[in-house]
Each structure stands twice: as structure tokens, then as C-alpha cells.
Amino acid sequence: MTTDATGDTGTTGDRDDGRPVEIGRKPRPHGPATVAVTAGRPPPVPDGPLNVPVVFASALHAGGVVGYARDGNPTWTPFEETLAALEGGGAGLAFASGMAAIAAVLELLPVGAPVVHLDHGYTGTRELLATAPAGRWEPRPVDICDTDATSAACAGAALLWLESPTNPLMEVADLRALIAGAHRQGALVAIDNTFATPLVQRPLDLGADVAVYSATKLLAGHSDVVLGATVTRDEDLTHRLAQHRRLHGAIPGPMETFLALRGMRSLALRIDRAQANAATLAERLSEHPDVSRVRYPGLPADPGHERARCQMDGFGAMVSFDVVGGAPAAEAAARSTRLIVHATSLGGIETTMERRAKYALEAGTPPGLVRLSVGCEDVEDLWDDLVHALRIGRLAAAVVPSATGG
């Protein structure tokens, strides 16, 4: 019998390879960082690979459970298992893109179904709802920071669609209250958790029915993959989403799924570094004379700070800030970076930024708002680049002092 430092005891036996192993003690559950590294791996066999190799196949031998390559691929499985394990259980499904995953959830709803959604959020979701054939859905835009009004809007609704923090205003919703209120009125709840990832926020543990991801972003993390995903603990929802993926052809490529899983193995490391960088930059930006407002829930003065502290395991790597001088200053700053990449995407290992109100669907976004996706570079190098860019922005605003619109 053995005794460890805590006083726990267990008997000792032998493994097949001759090494002793304790018997009779339940192992401690692995932490999220360990799950990201180890979940979805094949059983160990001598000379076998540590990860499932990429399987390129459109035709499969008959007699199995898959039958056809649109129904399944061995490369999808480890990615889906790993993501579901990070969510704390359930079933993951990989999709061709984040929009494919969003569309799959919405298409589960009957014609005319009321959908409560945030008035400021990811443009792709809002555009899909706005451009659908007349009567396909009944969109009900809400301010999700107003918990009572959002809950009231869920009366008779089929779905409450949430983001938190929101894209790009970084608003934080009271997720527990909103989810409970929607469920009381019979509505499903889906949360786009792309900004947070399951290492920072787990929607299913908060009560949501479906977690949705653009795996293109932080999950894959290297700006080389387009992929989406859903996770749910409801077997019927899983079946219906998988059926939609199969019938609508929204399937991921095996190489993309393999690369996304490889990126996800380092998710904990990237999130830790990017969050630390984001916190430092947000604090410094809040004191910079060319910035009128910083939107980051990690700042104690941020309106969403207390909510985020209660429902998140961190504050994420996304920062938005309003540049003094409006659109001309913000646009010039975004275009003048030397290290930070001027690009519309986010969540990569590199830092990216852009002025969001230049897009038509961002008409309600402040004209001088810049969205900053913080990566893993040296934070002092990032800060030097931001200071340089803001200086250029100030000069641009001085040239056009009266221009403040988008």
C-alpha cells in the first residue's frame, strides 16, 4: 500500500510494461490545458502516431457505419472530441466555416420563428437574419446588456442568440440570467463563444443549449484555416445539426480539421500570453491621450467587468478602443501599423486591428472604434507600434478636423 502527501492511500500493482501503477484511486480530472493537449488522441500502440493522421478519402469500403465521406471522416473525430472535452462534455461537430455552423443552428428553426438576437454583434449573423427570404425568421434585435428587456423579448421566441463579449463593442451579457429567462419561456439558447473560447468561458456549463464557434479564429489560431463548430449536450440537437451538415454539404475538409486540431493543442499557451498582452495594452490605452475610450472587460472600470469576472475564467484577448478624432484618425492609425497586421480577421497568433465602422453593416458602431485582436508578440513591441500608429492618426485628424463620420 502507498500513501501520498495528502494521506490518500492506494494499492500498487504492475503495468504490462513492468512499471508500478496505483490501483483503487480515482484519478484527478485533467485541467483544461491538459485536455487541449491530450484529448482526441488514438489509443497508444507501438510505433503508432500520437495524432490521427489526415485521411483524404471520398470513397469508403462498404460495410462500415459511415458509408460515404459526406457523412464522416476519421480526421473530424479528434477535433470534435477535443472541443467537446474542453466544453466539459457533449458532442462536437465540425463545419465548413463559422457561418456554416451559425446557419445550421438557425436553419433548425421553423419558418417564421422569432429569433431574439443582439443589435450589435457579429455582422455575418445579423446579415444572415436580415437578408433571408421574407418570413423565414422574425428577427428581434435587443440590447443584451438590458437583461430585463432581453428576457421580455423572449416571450414566444424560438431562439435567443447571444455573444458575450460582443463583437466589436465588447459588451458583456448576464448569461446565467438571460439563459434562465429564455428557457422559462421555452426558447433555445445559442451562444457564439468565438471571442472567449471554452478555456475562458463555457456556455454549456452556464446553461446554453448550443455553443457555436468560428474555429478559424482563436481555436485554430494561426490564420490558415476556415472552419466552424458547434457543441451541444442534447442528443436530438446533435442529430439534427449533423443531418443539416450532411444534407446541406456544410462539411469541413480533412486538412482544415487536422490543422485546427493542431492549433488547438497550443490554445492554452496562446490564450495565456494573448490575455496578458491584452490586459497590458488595454490599461495603457486607457491612459493614452489619443484614445477616448477602451472597451475591455478586464479593466475594473469597464461596465462589463463584474459580469465577466463572475462568468469567465479570464477576460480574453480582444480589445476595442475609440480613437480621438473619429474615423479619419482611426483609419489612419489602423493603416499605419508596422508590426500589427491591418486585417479584418482575428484570433491568430499575430495581432491584427481594423476600424470596424467602415463596413455598411457596422453603421451603429462608433466611427472611430478600432478592434484589436491581441496576439502573442512581445507586448513592448506591440505598444511601440500602437503609439506610432496613434501618432499618425492624430496627424490625419488634424488635416481633416471636421470629419468625424464613418
Q: Report the candidate in 389, 405, 395, 393 with the shortest Cα–Cα distance to residue 329.
A: 393
The angle that helices 123-131 and 98-107 make with each other, rounded to 10 degrees, is: 40
Contact 358, 380 (CB under 8 A): no
136, 174, 192, 371: the active-site residue: 192
Q: Is 192 a catalytic residue?
A: yes
The single residue listed with the C-alpha cell 464613418 is 406
Q: Report the candidate in 167, 216, 212, 213 with the shortest Cα–Cα distance to residue 188.
A: 212
3-state secondary structure of 318: strand
CA dist., res. 123 & res. 163, Å (int) = 12
CA dist., res. 112 & res. 123, Å (int) = 21
Q: Is 296 a catalytic residue?
A: no
3-state secondary structure of 267: helix
Contact 67, 60 (CB under 8 A): yes
Nine-digit cell at 136?
A: 423565414
Q: Tell me the residue type at 49.
A: P
126, 136, 202, 217: the active-site residue: 217
The number of beta carbons lying within 10 Å of the beta carbon of residue 269 is 15
41, 70, 284, 391: the active-site residue: 70
3-state secondary structure of 137: strand
Q: Is 217 a catalytic residue?
A: yes
Query: What would the DSSP string read from start to end of 332-391?
Result: HHHHT-SSSEE-S---SSS-EEEEGGGSGGGTTS-TTEEEEE--SS-HHHHHHHHHHHHH
Nine-digit cell at 223?
A: 490564420
Q: Is 26 a catalytic residue?
A: no
Q: What is the dihedral of CA 7, 10, 14, 16, to 10 degrees?
A: -100
Instruction: Give catalytic residue positions.
Output: 70, 122, 192, 217
